[in-house]
Structure 1
Amino acid sequence: MSALLGLGLLLSFLTYTTGLGDGCVLGVVGQPASLPCFHDALKTNSADVSVEWRTAGKVVLRSEWGEHGRVDAWSTSGANGTSVSSDAPQTGNFSLELSTVSPNEPQTSYSLFLMLSGEEQSPPLCTVCLEIAASFSFPLLHREDPVESDETVFICRSSGGFPEPTIHWLIDWTEEPSWDSVRTLTAQLPDSLLYNITSRLTVNVTQGTSVSCIIENPVLNETLTSISYGVQVSQVVRRASEAMWIFSTALCVVVGVMIFAGVVYQIHLDRTHKRKHKGKKDSSRYTDETVVMHVEQVETLTEANV
């Protein structure tokens, strides 16, 4: 009888629900999130309480309580570790806890239902909107100066964000380039479902012109800006630089060859000098030996005459 009385009291308060209205709960990819649902009418000590959290018509979590507390709880394989507090019937806190937020749809609504006898269910007690987002990397802005034309190409890249961002280009902080000068490619990665974005701006700019690439993620209220302050390099300067580089390279090669030739010539001189020095020593020794022999011959003749 008390269980039926509690159930009747519960149904009489179904018009009182706690949600976020037009606002949504922010879920950051890879982090936990809590979808709040506090319902005083669900506070009861009676047995046989069963609730379901659903999204897009699919059950993501079902919990049942009996006389001795929760007797059963299960979630779908894609529910990312969903759970509800074990003492929810006593506290009225039936908030859905997500252990990890994964990017699916940018915005998803979750509803809590009270399960009645059989397959009947109450109207939704709570409906909570979950808005999913992930930060983009800081945009990398690359500038390619013209070679054969007067137009400069700017390439801006950012990755790893959710949902699909918006990108803006500004010239000198205020001027927006024409739509046909911008080409933007957005790709969603098949594994992580996160987005990579690449945008290309082709424009004729003068010296000292600043070009800004702006990536916006409105869900996170996040704006990332990368700026190029480079000076356009004229074709004449570029050709002069290339000629100077070629001349410097050729000069280095010539100097290297001259140094090598000098080293080889010095080695040749050293060897020639050593050979001449050795020849003089041999000639001097031969002369000394000849003088000694001559002296010995004179002494021999002298002794013979005596």
Structure 2
Amino acid sequence: MLPKVISVFGLFSSFVVAGDATLVRDVNTTISDSAVLECSIQDRAITDWKSLRFYWQDDRNVVLYSYNNGRKVAEHVNELYQHRVTDFPQDIVRGNITIVLKNLTLDDNGRTYSSFAAVLDDSGTTRYHLEHTQICEMTLHVAVPYQEPRLDVNTEAMSAVCSLQGGFPAPDIQWVLLHNSSHQAVESRNVNTETKQNVHDHLYSSRSILHIPAGRHEAVSCLSHNPTLNRTVKVTHNFNTAGAAARSSPAALTVYLIAAAVVLLTAVQ
């Protein structure tokens, strides 16, 4: 199956102009997919692209793509990127130097990719319209979707545990209680969350414990947000309202016991 191509049009989170020409973007995508590193030379003075030279490199100065005078220069590409980069040859002749980086891994996460270009003047002299000018710069953010969260609720202890496994980056976990048909945020003092990262695959696991406060709660929900994908997954437990309220309210239990004692003493007398 071919990897899905992620276009920066729908996924870049910021866009600024650096200096006079460099376009800077953040590109968010998913592991094993592909990312389009979109870049185009905007110079109306250039009418002949036959002498176009351009290359892309990462923040280690490692070359992932090289093009010169109408052909790809594979010998300049580092082995880390061999067979992972494709172009759009029909568009290069119009100054579009966009490439596609395939088979993304977490090793690509946080990498910054820059393109540089040079175009010889068509007058036949050695003068350049561009001379190894930086055109675009993009930082790649690679995410791993979490598995479906697991929510375990103990109605005796009035506690809830939300567990997540195997995702990246670290999730943002929030709790919400449904009370009188209205959603209420949970105070941080009632929550204890622990997140760990596996040293081998770099994936995160999280365990969040909620101490459910007293009240007639109708439901409790755990919301897990992946900041790179901007995706939130919600899992909910619905209470038996009357039972939950009785177990979560020590004061109500005390009143019940006192009333029972009064009834018993009256019967004895």
TM-score for both structures, normalised by structure 2: 0.63
CA deviations on 1:132-160 (whole Å, 9 max, x unpaired) are 223222321101233xxxx4221101233
CA distance in 2, matches of 1:156, 1:44: 57
Equivalent residues of 1:62, 1:73 under 8 A apart:
no
Deviation at 1:80, TM superposition (A): 7.3
Equivalent residue for 1:53, pick from 41, 51, 56: 56
Equivalent residues of 2:110, 2:141 under 8 A apart:
yes
Match of 2:211 in 1: 202
The change in CA–CA distance for 1:202 and 1:104 in structure 2 (over 3 A counts) is farther
Equivalent residues of 2:27, 2:138 under 8 A apart:
yes
The change in CA–CA distance for 1:176 and 1:57 in structure 2 (over 3 A counts) is same
Match of 1:251 in 2: none
- Paired letter, 1:180: R
CA deviations on 1:51-87 (whole Å, 9 max, x unpaired) are 3322224214141425x73344443344474424384
Number of residue pairs the alignment of both structures matches: 209
Write 1 or 2 for the structure with the bigger share of helix.
1
CA distance in 2, matches of 1:187, 1:64: 43
Identical aligned residues as a percent: 22
Match of 2:144 in 1: 134
Q: Which is worse superposed, 190-199 or 222-231?
A: 190-199
CA deviations on 1:160-206 (whole Å, 9 max, x unpaired) are 33222211112225333332321212222334333222211123444
Equivalent residue for 2:78, pick from 76, 79, 89: 76
- What's the RMSD between the two structures over aligned residues? 3.4
CA deviations on 1:66-125 (whole Å, 9 max, x unpaired) are 5x73344443344474424384753422223111122247544311123799xxx73411
Local SS of the residue matching 1:125:
strand
Q: Which runs of 5+ in 2 are unaligned?
A: 1-18, 120-125, 248-269
Q: Which runs of 5+ in 1 are unaligned?
A: 1-13, 236-306
The change in CA–CA distance for 1:70 and 1:171 in structure 2 (over 3 A counts) is closer
Equivalent residue for 1:36, pick from 31, 35, 38: 38
Please show how residues 119-198 of structure 1 align to structure 2 within 5 Å. Answer: 122-146=132-156, 151-172=157-178, 174-198=183-207
- Paired letter, 2:161: I
Please show how residues 1-306 of structure 1 align to structure 2 within 5 Å. Answer: 15-17=20-22, 19=23, 21=24, 23-39=25-41, 41=43, 44-46=49-51, 50-66=53-69, 69-79=71-81, 81-85=83-87, 87=89, 90-104=93-107, 107-114=110-117, 122-146=132-156, 151-172=157-178, 174-206=183-215, 208-231=217-240, 232=243
- Paired letter, 2:196: A
Q: Which has the higher contact order (CA 8 A, sep 6+)?
A: 2
Write 1 or 2 for the structure with the bigger share of strand.
2
